[in-house]
């Protein structure tokens, strides 16, 4: 099976239009700093402090805005700020812990009641990619990453959508454990 690009997804924040206006002002628009591999997604120049019971860390906002606020952390990040983040697929934030989000430049802040997760490792695919790899949406697969610390990641969810670009996403803890840096590729093991 042909290898898939593996990308490290560092801690980041998704905000609603309402949260953006509270934190940055009425009518504020996010500043695209860098386009990401997934079509229409971009890293923003704007950063926020994520405040938990034990500490604070800073993270970039990813655009565009979403229907729900979401903070994606590695499990190490979550422990650092004192939040018990469950491992969930992006968008599945019901019943998750919350935190405070603070604009470090103005002090504007909001408290989100839920939305802090550690993102479940996943592969983005188009329907054509899924057909080529012989997988379906929501299927769980394993992926072997060849590196100085060759690793097989189990429990990888396949996410199929015509608007996706083929890429596997892991968090910084997982990337560090597998030495998955730079031009890294993984192979699906069914």
The domain spans of the chain are: 11-119, 121-189
Q: 113 by DSSP, 3-state: which?
A: coil
pLDDT tier for residue 170 given thresholds of 50, 70 and 90:
very high
Mean pLDDT, rounded, for 132-160: 97
- Considering the segment(s) 121-189 as one domain, its CATH architecture is Beta Barrel (2.40)
How far from the centroid of its chain's Cα atoms is residue 23's Cα? 21
Query: DSSP E strands: which ranges in 32-162?
Result: 32-35, 42-51, 56-63, 70-72, 87-88, 99-102, 109-112, 116-119, 122-125, 140-145, 151-160
pLDDT surpassing 80 at residue 190:
no
Q: Note whether 73 and 118 are within 8 A (CB).
A: yes
SS3 letters across 156-170: EEEEECCCCCCEEEE
> What's the pLDDT score for residue 3?
97
Mean pLDDT, rounded, for 43-60: 98
Q: How many residues does the chain have?
A: 190
> What's the pLDDT score for residue 169?
98
pLDDT surpassing 90 at residue 68:
yes
> What's the pLDDT score for residue 86?
98
pLDDT tier for residue 45 given thresholds of 50, 70 and 90:
very high
Mean confidence (pLDDT) of the chain = 97
How far from the centroid of its chain's Cα atoms is residue 162's Cα? 19
pLDDT tier for residue 1 given thresholds of 50, 70 and 90:
confident
> What's the pLDDT score for residue 53?
98
pLDDT tier for residue 37 given thresholds of 50, 70 and 90:
very high
> What's the pLDDT score for residue 185?
97
């Amino acid at each position: 099976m042909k290898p898939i690009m593996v990308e490290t997804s560092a801690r980041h924040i998704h905000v609603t239009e309402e949260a953006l206006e509270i934190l940055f002002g009425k009518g504020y628009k996010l500043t695209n700093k860098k386009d990401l591999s997934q079509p229409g997604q971009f890293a923003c120049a704007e950063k926020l402090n994520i405040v938990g019971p034990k500490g604070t860390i800073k993270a970039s906002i990813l655009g565009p805005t979403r229907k729900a606020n979401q903070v994606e952390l590695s499990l190490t990040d979550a422990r650092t700020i004192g939040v018990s983040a469950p491992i969930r697929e992006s968008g599945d934030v019901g019943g998750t812990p919350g935190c405070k989000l603070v604009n470090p430049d103005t002090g504007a802040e909001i408290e989100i009641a839920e939305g802090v997760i550690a993102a479940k490792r996943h592969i983005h695919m188009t329907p054509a990619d899924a057909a080529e790899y012989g997988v379906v949406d929501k299927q769980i697969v394993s992926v072997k990453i060849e590196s100085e610390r060759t690793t097989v990641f189990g429990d990888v969810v396949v996410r199929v959508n015509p608007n996706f670009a083929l890429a596997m996403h892991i968090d910084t803890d997982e990337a560090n454990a597998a030495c998955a840096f730079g031009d890294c590729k993984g192979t699906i093991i069914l």
